[in-house]
Chains A and B, each alone.
Chain A
């Protein structure tokens, strides 16, 4: 197992300074804690002048009048770290943020793609450096050791074949902070005269466990690679991935589309070998300057036909370009296509002529996929019948990807052709309180009812909910101009309410 840890010692200050053309002489972030303003992070210039996190802002200003200050923003730091973890997925799909100031990558079997581990370390540091981050990286057989090396040692790489005593010897030189325990625990260790990991390794384990807890020993075992502890990747690694890398970024949309076509052609055999088709596709674009853009397209049936996949992504790309502009900036240097959800599929027997309904279903599915890719999956709907009495719950509009609906059961009472998403309140005048409407005012227009049909009484489901709401009496009404409305009165007069309210629920 090979783990790469990246340490970003000045993440919070770099977050602000990397956007600036010229760095100030000294820069620090502060936060208000217990009524006092204290520094939380300092940049390299401030560190040279002797400023440290935890110092009071007034002291720091006295020491360095030119100090520039900004308020700390832990949320922005965390978001930036997440974005960096996304970015680092260009090296391996298993990447995790290592809060508060690092990244952890599982690069087992991935380093040779980048010219070996030393080259991978150089590339990581150089690329992060180009983005304006001070970064140190290290590779080790265990995540805890890699993490400790990146932070507390000048050593960058521990060989996979290193024997246990060699690892122990390397770890022995590290300070006890490398365990990653809290500040109190570290202070306790130091008070006991234990300064290096070697001091702990030399001692019997039982007294250590009794004094510092089992957690300290677990950390110690992890650090010396006696314990396997996996990292928690930010996203589950998809099973089917195709990707292409480019030394110079791609900027033109035609190039990107052509690349997606070739990626789809790469992905198809992988899917075919596993006997599955993609239900959800994700195209990930890694921009040269570190930004990551994702496009997701869903399909209504398992797909693996490369032209279809490519056409779907092209629609999604066009929609993204319209919405927020697929900002290519200096170009995308890594394009990746993943099938994040797959479903088993049987290949059609092409020798036989497919039945007409089947091809029609497939055609409709393709059309709805294409529309969904462009307009959004939630805008392509199919209507399913539900067993409910209230009209608004009797039909469910579900995304087309969830399959075709069955035929509707016959409905005796007439229903309108259109239904409002929520009933609109109206002022209605009735001849008597539980009678039909005579006239009503809807959207500030007075409608005079000349003909009506009803009432049809619909009670809410009182058998499931104690307070399901009042009973409704529905009327089909036609006004003097011939427009048809579906109105209801809410509440039974005298039993449920004294002032029934009226609503218009549909038109036909």
Chain B
């Protein structure tokens, strides 16, 4: 995604430089413990977040759940699920992406917007939007889509009840995903219900919106980068997740141009809107 011609990649690097500079300069008001945490975190993750990316692209033929931490975080959780779907699609080298949403969800949080999806790196010629009336239809449509060999990833956002989405229902979805080789992503829209699910899903994360930039100055502050979230691990069946503290919230960012997840820096620094260079199309990757 490009903001006024500056690629996300450059934006990320700028924030990173700003953070490093801040640590040496007067702005290094960070407590020492926090700084140690940060460096430990970075070293554990190989400094960049390649391993985090590997964790989040936990393979095809799997079922993952992205729960919102609180009710207003539901769009963020759905966007995270979409990012995981894009990641899975890129890893597979193509395939269709099916997005299923219910009428109630569309009324509450709006419909996926084609222009925004295209900026997120989605090829809309392989995208289908399915609108359902009820959670029961959503589960059915998700299973059908997962079985189909055409799909690389299926995202379903739904107002599920634990009664409807029990162990056997989620097992059905998991088996369908294994048969079709697609990644199934379920984004329940109601947080309180989500915590009580017991499902066969391989991965369950809790998602909250990334916190806004903090600085004493008033605007102009530009908003945090899109595709950034705070993530907490609730359950992981496979992979080296054991090294990660499940209770800890960590900030992550999705890079649409590389189709990869990486760590966001805990500090956030604004890049003033007027400080941006003019669009440089030659440097932007198509």
Contacts and interface: CB of A to CB of B under 8 A. Distances in A.
Chain A partners chain B: yes
Interface of A: 360-361, 363-364, 366-368, 370-371, 374-375, 379-385, 391, 394-395, 397, 400, 404-408, 410-421, 436, 445, 450-453, 476-484, 506-508
Q: Could you say which of A416, A451, A481 has the most chain B C-beta atoms within 10 Å of its C-beta? A: A451
B223 A417 contact: no
A416 B223 CA distance: 13
Given A364-B148, A374-B141, A381-B131, 18 more contacts: A364-B126, A371-B141, A384-B114, A400-B128, A404-B125, A410-B118, A412-B279, A417-B112, A417-B113, A418-B75, A418-B111, A421-B106, A451-B213, A451-B219, A452-B220, A482-B210, A484-B224, A506-B110
B211 interface: yes
Given A451-B222, A480-B212, A415 B115 contact: yes
Interface in B110-149: 110-120, 123-133, 137, 140-141, 144-145, 148-149
Contacts of B141: 371, 374-375
A405 B72 CA distance: 32
Contact of B130 (A375, A408, A411): A375
Given A367-B151, A419-B110, A477 B124 contact: no
A488 to B, nearest CB: 14
* Closest CB pairs A-B (n = 9): A363-B150, A395-B114, A482-B209, A478-B223, A383-B114, A408-B118, A451-B221, A419-B113, A418-B110
26 contacts: A371-B141, A374-B140, A374-B141, A375-B132, A380-B130, A391-B115, A405-B125, A412-B2, A415-B116, A416-B116, A418-B78, A418-B109, A418-B111, A419-B112, A451-B219, A452-B222, A452-B223, A453-B222, A481-B211, A482-B209, A482-B224, A483-B72, A483-B209, A484-B224, A484-B226, A507-B109
Contact of B115 (A360, A394, A453): A394
Contact of B82 (A370, A417, A419): A417
Nearest to B95: A360
Interface string B212-253: 110000011111101000100000000000000000000000
B150 A367 contact: yes
B116 A383 contact: no
A417 B130 contact: no
A418 B108 CA distance: 11
A44 to B, nearest CB: 49
B34 to A, nearest CB: 19
Nearest to A407: B125
Interface of B: 1-5, 72-73, 75-76, 78-79, 82, 94-96, 98, 106-107, 109-120, 123-133, 137, 140-141, 144-145, 148-151, 208-213, 219-224, 226, 230, 270, 273, 279, 286
Given A375-B132, A413-B4, A418-B75, A367 B148 contact: yes
B60 to A, nearest CB: 15
Contact of A452 (B128, B148, B219): B219
Contact of B144 (A367, A412, A477, A507): A367
A371 B144 contact: yes
Contacts of A400: 128
Contacts, number: 199
Classify the secondary structure of A's interface with B.
mixed
Given A412-B2, A414-B1, A371 B110 contact: no
B130 A379 contact: yes
Contacts of B112: 383, 417-419
B221 A482 contact: no
A363 B149 contact: yes
Nearest to B221: A451
Nearest to A319: B137
A363 B148 CA distance: 7
Contacts of B129: 380-383, 397
Contacts of A476: 223
Contact of A420 (B110, B119, B120): B110
A220 to B, nearest CB: 58
Q: Could you say which of B72, B120, B145 has the most chain A C-beta atoms within 10 Å of its C-beta? A: B72
Contacts of A416: 113, 116
Contact of A451 (B94, B115, B123, B224): B224
Contact of A415 (B76, B113, B150): B113
A385 B73 CA distance: 28
Nearest to B101: A418
Contact of A506 (B78, B98, B113, B270): B113
A257 B39 CA distance: 64
B208 A451 contact: no
Contact of B127 (A383, A391, A508): A383
A408 B118 CA distance: 7
Contact of B111 (A394, A421, A508): A421
A407 B129 CA distance: 16
A393 to B, nearest CB: 11
A201 B78 CA distance: 81
A366 B180 CA distance: 14
A356 B78 CA distance: 30
Nearest to B2: A412
Nearest to A447: B72
B222 A508 contact: no
Nearest to A454: B273
A380 B119 CA distance: 22
A389 to B, nearest CB: 12
Contacts of A506: 110, 113, 116
Q: Could you say which of B106, B115, B120 has the most chain A C-beta atoms within 10 Å of its C-beta? A: B115
Nearest to A418: B110
A486 to B, nearest CB: 9
Q: Could you say which of B72, B110, B211, B219 has the most chain A C-beta atoms within 10 Å of its C-beta? A: B110
A412 B116 contact: no
A417 B114 contact: no
A397 B115 contact: no
B124 A383 contact: yes
Contacts of B222: 451-453
A379 B132 contact: yes
Contacts of A417: 75, 79, 82, 112-113, 116-117, 120, 226
A364 B4 contact: no
A480 B145 CA distance: 38
A445 B70 CA distance: 14
B124 A408 contact: yes
Contacts of A419: 110-113, 116
B219 A436 contact: yes
Given A383-B124, A482-B208, A482-B212, A450 B221 contact: yes
Contacts of A479: 212
Given A379-B130, A482-B211, A508-B226, A407 B124 contact: yes
